[in-house]
Chain A
Amino acid sequence: MNRDFRLSRRAVLASGLALGVGGLVLPVRAATPLKVAGIHASPVENAWNSCLHKALQDAAAEGAIEYTFSEGISGTDYPRAMREYAEAGNKLIIGEAYAVEKEARQVAADYPETAFVLGSSGAAAGDNFGVFGTWNHDGAYLAGMLAGKMTKSNVVGSVGAMPIPEVNMLINAFAAGVKAVNPEAKHLVTFIGTFFDPPKAREAGLAQIDAGADILFGERIGTADAAKERGIKAVGSLIDYTPRYPDTVFANALWGFRPILNAAVADAAAGKPVGKDYTAFGLMKEGGSDIAYAKGVAPADAEAAMEEVRAKIKSGAFEVPRDTAEPK
């Protein structure tokens, strides 16, 4: 018994020594990739989270960062996960503050050495709490320009989750694109009241088709399934849905997280404060967002007109209206 105790004390001393040496070694390894953690409130298959997750995975594969992540973290658990990743020595934490705006800022204040850059509807806070929005409305506007020329019934529809500013801006941009080329077109909007219910989004899409829509803008996954079932065309958002619905989704308002991530990683690695708004890095003219479309589906003149505006957006000569009011 006594012997056991001595042994364990020796083990404790040894481990202390090991930790000390580890501390000495650390400065030598300064060139190692930045430790970045991702905290996803939804499963990473969720389109928005998949944008973050893919950018982080790609960066890790290139050796730019070291990436660990958790997914499906509920709001009540989110601050705890933030603290654990901060305690674990991560230098940059990427995630989403939408459900925990206040708590996330409190956690960040407790860990001034850790950089937090989260998707948020609010403003940056302090030196170490940065925010970003999801602005892929440029692509939505361009897709709307194609849809406006393609509709035969002169009715298009959008299915969204909830009318939060970012979703509103996206749907309004699509509608503005449609109206820009086809002022007579009618635009239907349905909100499904939840961020994640594909069967419900599909039902909302079918209801719009029943009401005459012949092109659907699916802010939510499930909408394109309705279009596929009825043999009409659809527009996707955030990621490229064309491989999933090859004959249905002809255009996508893509959003890339990589430019935002690169900027945040560069700041965090250089020890610069990250307490700012990174949204602009996701804009089209910064290379963050774009339109991906299958050529030849829309009329050639519609594609040409759209490409012209696309070039103007990229050069900064044209700015897509940012309207965050609830679409109607």
Chain B
Amino acid sequence: MSIVLDIIASSGLWAAVLRIATPLIFGTLGALLCERAGVLNLGIEGIMTFGAMVGWLAVYHGADLWTGLLVAALAGAVFGLLHASLTVTLGLSQHVSGLGVTLFASSLSYYLFRLIVPLSGSPPTIEPFAPVNVPLLADLPFIGAVLSAQTPPTYLALLLALLLAYVVFRTPLGLAIRMTGENPHAAEAQGVNPMAVRYGAVIVGSALMAVGGGFLTLSAFNSFFPTMIQGRGWICIALVVFASWRPGRALFGALLFAFFDAFQLRLQTAVDGVPYQVFLMTPYILSIVALCVMARRARVPQALMQPYRRGER
């Protein structure tokens, strides 16, 4: 028991939690924004892959790291536009279209990577984001040690969660997004254009997903591999449900999942006699348990996955 407490009391654990959570925060916020407007975006896994590829590629070709993240965001926005035109304008199945975007975006990343980057034994590297010390914050006991191990995109992710919570619940724009996800007919009666809101939400949401992918190649690691997203996008989709479509809870969910992951990596070396698979399972099992508890009170946006056709009842 004291081993467990020692691990929980170590700043290394909490630093790892923030690092592991960052791509999940970006991805979950992106998926949440899409779904709040009534569009499920299963393109996330592919969009994250593409963001990881294109952001890395930009930096590899001389752009600075922030430009790399911006390029990733723009590329994500393009895939968002594709998904929105399929699901909003054409009103196609959001599941099928989203999976199509995932297959397309991941294959395209692989293809472009092969085309542009010469084949070599171990893929080329870039110089990734380095941890930064924020004045005042870095001087705090314990929290200072945790935060000073973080790179700038992690701060961006945390701020973004607050910003999205504010926009969704405290601004007219957020009200329009929520109305479009609940009842697009009523939204239109109030002078809101549900089509435009959905397009905007899917495009911005997809850009956020791509930034989450970009974090993996520009901060968490320094090379791109075509298969490196490893299901993180699907975890984000589950986290949106866990969060009951609320940005604050999405942040909490991503941190919780990351906590279990960082915790099990430390338990593996600290505890003998337990098969390592048990530890590897913990983040997923505990997430399912948490999902069961949280989802009882979850309120699904009522118009989620329903295409809006003007004038149709």
Determine if A43 and B226 form an interchain contact, defined as CB atoms under 8 angstroms apart: yes
Determine if B125 and A244 form an interchain contact, defined as CB atoms under 8 angstroms apart: yes
Query: Which residues of chain A come closer than 8 Å to B19, judged between CB atoms?
Result: 203
Task: Identify the stretch in A127-135, A189-197, A314-322 within 8 Å (CB) of chain B at 4 or more residues.
Answer: A189-197
A residues adjacent to B (C-beta < 8 A): 42-47, 50, 53-54, 72, 157, 163, 188-194, 196-200, 202-204, 206-208, 210-211, 221-222, 225, 239, 241, 244, 328
CA distance A44 to B230 in the complex (A): 17
CA distance A221 to B16 in the complex (A): 18
Query: Which residues of chain A come closer than 8 Å to B13, judged between CB atoms?
Result: 210
Q: Can you list 29 A-B contacts (CB < 8 A)?
A: A43-B227, A50-B121, A72-B226, A163-B276, A190-B265, A190-B268, A190-B269, A192-B280, A193-B276, A196-B227, A197-B228, A198-B221, A199-B216, A199-B220, A199-B221, A200-B230, A202-B221, A203-B16, A204-B265, A207-B16, A210-B12, A211-B266, A211-B269, A211-B270, A221-B122, A225-B222, A239-B121, A244-B122, A244-B125
**Smallest CB-CB separation from A228: which chain B residue?**
B222
Residue of B227, B261, B262, B280 near A191 (CB, 8 A) is B280
Determine if B268 and A189 form an interchain contact, defined as CB atoms under 8 angstroms apart: yes
**Smallest CB-CB separation from A190: which chain B residue?**
B268
Given contacts A222-B221, A244-B125, contact A203 B268 (CB under 8 A): no
CA distance A51 to B225 in the complex (A): 17
Determine if A47 and B122 form an interchain contact, defined as CB atoms under 8 angstroms apart: yes
CB within 8 Å of A: which of B248-297? Answer: 261-262, 265-266, 268-270, 272, 276-277, 280
Determine if A207 and B123 form an interchain contact, defined as CB atoms under 8 angstroms apart: no
Query: Which residues of chain B come closer than 8 Å to A44, judged between CB atoms?
Result: 119
Residue of B12, B20, B120 near A45 (CB, 8 A) is B120
Given contacts A72-B226, A199-B221, contact A54 B265 (CB under 8 A): no
Per-residue A-contact encoding for B117-133, CB less than 8 Å = 1, 0 else = 00111110100000000
Residue of B125, B226, B277 near A193 (CB, 8 A) is B277
Given contacts A163-B276, A199-B221, contact A206 B226 (CB under 8 A): no
CA distance A306 to B181 in the complex (A): 67
Query: Which residues of chain B come closer than 8 Å to A199, judged between CB atoms?
Result: 216, 220-221, 228
- The answer to whether B93 has its CB under 8 Å from any CB of chain A is no
CA distance A239 to B122 in the complex (A): 9
CA distance A204 to B110 in the complex (A): 26
Query: Which residues of chain A come closer than 8 Å to B228, judged between CB atoms?
Result: 196-199
- The answer to whether B223 has its CB under 8 Å from any CB of chain A is yes
- The answer to whether B67 has its CB under 8 Å from any CB of chain A is no
- The answer to whether B10 has its CB under 8 Å from any CB of chain A is yes
CA distance A328 to B271 in the complex (A): 10
Determine if B223 and A198 form an interchain contact, defined as CB atoms under 8 angstroms apart: yes
Q: In the complex, how many angstroms separate the beta carbon of A172 from the nearest chain B beta carbon?
A: 15
**Smallest CB-CB separation from A241: which chain B residue?**
B122
CA distance A239 to B119 in the complex (A): 15
Determine if A196 and B10 form an interchain contact, defined as CB atoms under 8 angstroms apart: no
